[in-house]
Amino acid sequence: MRDVAVIGVGMNKWGELWEAAIRDLLAESVLLALDDAGIDSVEAMYIGCMSSGLFTHQEHLGSIGPDYSGICPIPGMRVESACASGGAAFRAAYIHVASGMADIVMAAGVEKMTDVDGGGATFALATAADQEYEVYNGVTFPGLYAMMANHHMHKYGTTRDQLSQVAVKNHLNGSKNPLAQFRMKVTPDQVKNSVMVADPLTLLDCSPITDGSAAVILCSMDKAKELTRKRLVKIIGSGHASDTIQLAQREDISSLKSTNMAAKQALEMAGRKISDINFAEVHDCFTIAEIMVIEALGIAPQGKGGKATADGITAIDGKFPVNASGGLKSKGHPVGATGVAQIAEIVKQVRGEADEGRQVKKADIGLAQNMGGSGASSVVHILEGM
């Protein structure tokens, strides 16, 4: 294993992008990342994408990615682990470079979700859950996270207002992110009183349906020193773990074991403690998810994630800023792109290039946590500025 740095990042403006087909949607961020790195090609490309087949009837992104980015005949490959596809693609690219197989590899992520209607998108997303024992019985993804929320509230006393505070914080951060899908600020009352989706989760507790992409370029440290004058951002930790596909079969319904395991691996590899990390981008697909993730990462004690959020610990000027980008809640959640966009955000923050009003003050070491399904797979990476 050799040292690997991220030398280029790109993310397009996320939203309902009616004019963009998946091929151009993907290429847009790839070109941004190439320009950011100051190079015109890479040796290989991994593409995180959950379900281009169900969302757009287009598979074979391993060809479309390089083709429409103008970098054929490099090898391309799609990586799928539901909503953790982007993080998994980044990890595959990292292993590729760290192994010495190649010096410069791209990890991209894309999801084009608005070519189907709401029912079609719900159907595609539900394939991340157990088809025969969860989806068959009429449960949705908001429904699965709602059951975690109810369990968490019953067991630990987490409150409706604490859930709302996650949305309030992330929309405040996202309001300063020109690439975010929903830049409006929200109040706790607006979150609580928005349409009920699955009790206790309302519409504003849920991340949206988004078209978007992101891309990052990984490079061996030796070569990176030759290629870039920007601050080098080194990958110092990588972790990846799975859990049962069914929520009902987890050891504990209101804790995220896969995230906890992935974080332990990444921290051990980095030789750091969670208190050494300055900030994090985490998978807030629902407000309760962020509360459970910060507990699994050790940012807050188990059961105290809601209180930590309400106390402002995870605010942009708090002790441990979480989702300075606006998170999935405000920035949007094009599923396969999310994990890659988290890495792009960490790199921007570490370089000191985040937008005005949402640059984390001390941003030398950042952590990205990306999660699939109801927590059935998780990927964690830690990056440090050199």
Which residues are catalytically annotated?
83, 333
Give, to the nearest 10 degrees, the angle between helix 85-98 and helix 335-351. 60
Binding region for another protein (CB under 8 A) out of 59-67, 189-197, 319-327, 350-358:
189-197
Name which of residues 196 to 215 contact another protein (CB under 8 A). Answer: 196-201
Q: How far is the CB of 181 from another protein (least distance, A)?
A: 19
Q: How far is the CB of 244 from another protein (least distance, A)?
A: 8
Binding region for another protein (CB under 8 A) out of 81-89, 97-105, 240-248, 267-275:
240-248
Q: How far is the CB of 255 from another protein (least distance, A)?
A: 13
Binding mask 92-121 for another protein (x = CB under 8 A): ---------------------------x--
- Helical (H) or strand (E) element with 188: helix 188-193
Q: Is the four-CA dihedral 56, 58, 60, 65 of positive or negative sign?
A: negative
Q: How far is the CB of 76 from another protein (least distance, A)?
A: 32
Compute how many residues bind another protein; rule: CB under 8 A: 33
Q: How far is the CB of 123 from another protein (least distance, A)?
A: 6
Q: Is 43 in contact with 102 (CB distance < 8 Å)?
A: yes
* 94/221 Cα distance (integer angstroms): 12
Q: How far is the CB of 81 from another protein (least distance, A)?
A: 19
Q: Which of 127, 242, 246, 359 binds another protein (CB under 8 A)?
A: 246
Tell whether residue 192 is a contact of another protein (CB under 8 A). no
Name which of residues 135 to 154 contact another protein (CB under 8 A). Answer: 135-140, 142-143, 146-148, 150-151, 154
Please identify, using beta-carbon distances, which residue of 20 and 198 lies nearer to another protein. Answer: 198
Smallest CA-to-CA distance from 35 within 213, 179, 212, 217 is with 217
State the burial class of residue 229 (Cβ atoms within 10 Å of its Cβ: 0-12, 13-18, 19+).
exposed
Instruction: Determine the length of the chain.
Output: 386
Find all residues with CB under 8 Å of 245, minimum gap 6, and list them. Answer: 129, 130, 373, 376
Tell whether residue 160 is a contact of another protein (CB under 8 A). no
Maximum Cα–Cα distance across the chain: 56
Q: How far is the CB of 317 from another protein (least distance, A)?
A: 34
Determine the Cα angle at 32 with ends 31 and 34, to 5°: 60
Q: Which of 58, 122, 194, 265 binds another protein (CB under 8 A)?
A: 122
Please identify, using beta-carbon distances, which residue of 172 and 196 lies nearer to another protein. Answer: 196
* 298/302 Cα distance (integer angstroms): 8
* 253/145 Cα distance (integer angstroms): 10
Q: Is the four-CA dihedral 309, 287, 285, 214 of positive or negative sign?
A: negative
Question: Cα Rg for the chain, rounded, in angstroms?
Answer: 19
Please identify, using beta-carbon distances, which residue of 12 and 164 lies nearer to another protein. Answer: 164
* 232/235 Cα distance (integer angstroms): 10
Binding region for another protein (CB under 8 A) out of 27-35, 195-203, 228-236, 376-384:
195-203
Please identify, using beta-carbon distances, which residue of 254 and 349 lies nearer to another protein. Answer: 254
* 164/186 Cα distance (integer angstroms): 9
Tell whether residue 292 is a contact of another protein (CB under 8 A). no
Task: Respond yes or no on whether the N-terminal peptide bond of residue 73 is cis (omega within 30° of 0).
Answer: yes
Q: Which of 21, 54, 102, 253 binds another protein (CB under 8 A)?
A: 253
Q: Is 86 in contact with 339 (CB distance < 8 Å)?
A: yes
Contact positions vs another protein (CB under 8 A): 119, 122-123, 126, 132-140, 142-143, 146-148, 150-151, 154, 195-201, 246-249, 253
